[in-house]
């Protein structure tokens, strides 16, 4: 599929789904060019070659290390991911995953649909033992940049062991991406004392106490903006609701602020304030990432509304993950905890 | 306990726990005076008579319809509610509940601790069939005043039937307190389509479809600030996390706003903006209520930090509940749905 001559040992090769996202392929191609120009990577742009090449030509991007890989089909936002992938095995997102699976690329980036990325990741790349679906973690607030929430919503009806997994994955994430040596880990609950919360939290509490992680107990909803722990663990149902509520509340307050300040401050000052508020309360923008945790390879899924700058950022997150051996470190921490779980004295 | 001569058929008689709350008894007594001065009620202030009478004298409040009822013990914030109530059967909160139970008062108000109010309510006044713990509902955002969230956090590990109960109680609440004739009811979930969410939501979906309520399906976290439904139903774990996150995020943004605007606007203008933001994002202030739903009598539990104005507001909410026959309406709606549940064709 990709000729051997294009390989370069010094470059991280990343497969990018050119057709995913609201502004594909234009903004994806532009983002790939931006990312490639920063150096250190070679990009395999996956999609209909004719379309991608036409986009590349628009930007006179012939000298950057970008190759096209043919994929004739596209999965659109709103399609049922599993069904669509069965009908369209040559969809760009699936071809990108196969490039990673075969070793032709070290990581993949797709701007969506999230469901299609999840399913192709699961089917083609696989997850660690015990990880049912890829886990998404990241800081959700610019006001608490050293606090990540995990899981953002892929995994619901979690078992206590899954929360332990989230804690392990989140802890490695915080070490690598937040640069925190020994991240504090907490369970999101309805009260800070042990015993508070629902059955899931109470059982996970015991597992976390015994995990070797820097577990500090329960935190409550109010502790998230205060950054009371580096890693805050919750079922993906709660994470999903919180992430969406956070973005929407921030945007609502920004709207109110704009109205309230109109006429009292210069328009440019208001715009700056509002933009800062929106970006500080939009989890997707705060993080800018979307690295799937618990997957056997580095996979980044971006927000559907990403523009070129965000696409380039997502590509560089994938590069960083490859260069730092992030997936290997996740896997080894995960295996350490799983080995312990399998001993008879554990739950 | 209370002499017959003090009764007046035209006044709603409300038992107020004079010793609950961070600023008890001073602010509670002041709040009771404010509430009584507005008319239509007679207040039984429950606590150590000497202390309460001294407070009343400070305000020269001898002409207002306030009576003292002796209760020598107090349950403090932080005490284990059930144990404390067993040790102190004459605690002010328990005596207030007994006044309602015996019919000497029509409603009770306590500013906390919430746990002690919950337990005395459960033990002394009781709940409707199938309601395990009192349910708290109310609008959480000033930006979406016609949207209530239920449950705020008393009930975790809910069964689908409990979510149906929340929907029924919330719907009556919205009719009476938001003045909405046919409130829209939605389930909080991770996606808007039927089938999205966790097992609890999926099962509750079927019950709500068949409930006779104005059920509009699932909403997501982002729909809360947008006010997409009048009644948004969730397990109390999620409700508790959301309510606390909302208050904390609002306060965090308010803090940032104060810093950002300092020097750019007159201090008074900044103060007004910040105060408005804080009060619009603090669920306890937005609602100002704390009426416990599913309890056989009208019980209002206020926020621990309530000052006199909030105390007076809580007392008037209790009065409104009594005058409008709110508890009876809740009970009859609850019974209608329970009767249906008991039929063999129902789940």
Q: Give the pLDDT mean for A157-171.
A: 94
The tens digit of pLDDT for each residue in B318-335 reads 999 999 999 999 999 999
Decide which of B340 and B44 is more confident. Answer: B44
The tens digit of pLDDT for each residue in A188-235 reads 999 998 989 999 999 999 999 999 999 999 999 999 999 999 999 999
CB atoms A141 and B190 under 8 Å: no
CB atoms A226 and B248 under 8 Å: yes
Decide which of B330 and B62 is more confident. Answer: B330
B66-70, strands of its sheet edge to edge: B66-70, B41-47, B12-17, B107-110, B298-301
Pairing of strands A135-139, A148-150: antiparallel
The tens digit of pLDDT for each residue in A272-304 reads 999 999 999 998 888 777 899 999 999 999 888
Q: Could you tell me if B313 and B177 are in contact, meaning their C-beta atoms sit under 8 angstroms apart?
A: no
The tens digit of pLDDT for each residue in B11-57 reads 999 999 999 999 999 999 999 999 999 999 999 999 999 999 999 99
Could you identify the residue written with the tokens 């109109």? A262
Question: Confidence band (pLDDT; 50, 70, 90) for B253?
Answer: very high
The helix/strand/coil state of B136 is: strand
Residue B121 DSSP class:
I
Return the pLDDT at A268: 96
Q: Could you tell me if B253 and B277 are in contact, meaning their C-beta atoms sit under 8 angstroms apart?
A: yes
CB atoms B237 and A141 under 8 Å: no
Residue B109 bridge partners (DSSP): B16, B300
Return the pLDDT at A153: 78
Q: Could you tell me if A18 and A121 are in contact, meaning their C-beta atoms sit under 8 angstroms apart?
A: no
CB atoms A269 and B264 under 8 Å: yes
CB atoms B221 and A199 under 8 Å: no
The helix/strand/coil state of B154 is: coil
Rg (CA), chain A: 21
% of residues, chain B, pLDDT over 70: 95
Mutation site, B113, B114, B238, interface A, largest A CB count within 10 A? B238
Q: Return the residue of B nearest to A219 by Cα.
A: B241
Which DSSP helix (H) or strand (E) runs through B96? helix B92-101
The tens digit of pLDDT for each residue in A24-48 reads 999 999 999 999 999 999 999 999 9
What ipTM was assigned to the predicted interfaces of this complex? 0.89
Q: Mean pLDDT over all residues of chain A?
A: 92
% of residues, chain A, pLDDT over 90: 80
Return the pLDDT at B168: 95
Return the pLDDT at B3: 42
Question: Confidence band (pLDDT; 50, 70, 90) for B340?
Answer: confident
Mutation site, A151, A162, A241, A271, interface B, largest B CB count within 10 A? A241
Return the pLDDT at B249: 98
């Amino acid at each position: 599929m990709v000729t051997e001559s294009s390989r370069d040992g010094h470059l991280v090769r990343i497969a990018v789904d050119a057709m995913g996202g609201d502004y594909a392929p234009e903004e994806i191609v532009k983002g790939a060019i931006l990312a490639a120009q920063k150096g250190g990577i070679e990009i395999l742009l996956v999609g209909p070659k004719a379309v991608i090449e036409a986009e590349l030509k628009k930007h006179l991007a012939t000298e950057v290390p970008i190759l096209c890989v043919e994929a004739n089909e596209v999965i659109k936002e709103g399609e049922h991911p599993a069904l669509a992938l069965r009908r369209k095995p040559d969809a760009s997102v699936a071809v990108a995953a196969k490039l990673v699976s075969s070793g032709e690329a070290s990581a993949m980036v797709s701007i969506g649909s999230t469901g299609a990325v999840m399913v192709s990741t699961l089917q083609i790349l696989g997850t660690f033992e015990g990880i049912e679906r890829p886990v998404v973690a990241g800081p959700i607030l610019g006001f608490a940049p050293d606090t990540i929430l995990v899981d953002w919503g892929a995994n619901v009806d979690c078992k206590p062991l899954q929360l332990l997994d989230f804690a392990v994955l989140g802890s490695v994430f915080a070490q690598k991406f937040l640069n925190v040596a020994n991240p504090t880990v907490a369970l999101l609950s309805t009260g800070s004392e042990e015993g508070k919360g629902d059955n899931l939290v109470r059982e996970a509490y015991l597992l976390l106490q015994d995990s070797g992680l820097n577990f500090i107990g329960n935190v409550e909803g109010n502790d998230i903006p205060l950054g009371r722990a580096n890693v805050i663990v919750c079922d993906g149902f709660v994470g999903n609701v919180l992430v969406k509520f956070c973005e929407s509340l921030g945007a609502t307050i920004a709207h109110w602020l704009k109205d309230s300040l109109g006429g009292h401050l210069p328009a440019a000052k208001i715009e700056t304030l509002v933009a800062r508020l929106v970006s500080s309360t939009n989890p997707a923008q705060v993080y800018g990432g979307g690295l799937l945790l618990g997957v056997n390879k580095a996979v980044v899924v971006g927000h559907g509304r990403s523009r070129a700058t965000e696409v380039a950022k997502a590509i560089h997150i994938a590069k960083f993950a490859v260069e730092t051996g992030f997936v290997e470190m996740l896997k080894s921490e995960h295996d350490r905890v799983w080995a312990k779980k399998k001993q008879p004295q554990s739950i």
